Amino acid sequence: MRDFRIPTGLVGVLACCAAALAGPAAADDSLNGHYQAAVDGSRSHPLGGILILNTSCNPAGNCTGWVSTPKTWGAPIDKAPGGSWTISRADSSAWTCPDGSKAAADLVYAFSSTSLAGSITSTKAAGGCGDPATPTTTYSLQVQKCVDSPSRGVCP
């Protein structure tokens, strides 16, 4: 039987090469569970509330998934590598008209993957409120992770 030995110096060189070729590890930015969306500082704002997030990210950092609320809506959610989380959805009553009635609007939620702070942009649908214009309103958004505990409720 032959005695095969690898020189210690060669082991060090191979280890350095392997580490250099491995590349940076991508952080997993996925969001899963119950979250609270506070809009303009209010937890009771009609555009906020409880969000149920189910996302996954691939090794390149592209993330996709689904977000829903307990009773009203669901929509796709995505994030490009290094980018913000984005949710785009239409809502038939998200715009408040001057007379107090409601009109349809397109909503875009965008928030940071680290601070979970961002904004909601609401664009009124053309013809809503009897007006062909499509004005836009922007609201501040802060998303917070909830404690998933049946005994404490979804978000304390």
- How crowded is residue 49: how many other Cβ atoms within 10 Å of its Cβ? 18
Under a CB-based contact definition with an 8 Å cutoff, are residues 154 and 145 in contact? no
Q: Which residues of the chain have pLDDT under 70?
A: 1-27, 148-156
User: And the tokens for 48?
Assistant: 């906020």
Task: Please return the burial class of 85, using the count of CB atoms within 10 Å of its CB with bins 0-12, 13-18 and 19+.
Answer: buried
pLDDT at 7: 57
Q: Which residues pair with 53 in a beta bridge?
A: 33, 67
Q: State the pLDDT at residue 146.
A: 87
Amino acid occupying residue 114: T
**Consecutive H or E run containing 11:** helix 8-22
Predicted pLDDT at 150: 55
Nearest-5° angle of CA 118, CA 63, CA 47? 35
| Tens digits of residue pLDDT in 91-123 | 999 999 999 999 999 999 999 999 999 999 999
How many other CB atoms are found less than 10 A from the CB of residue 100? 6
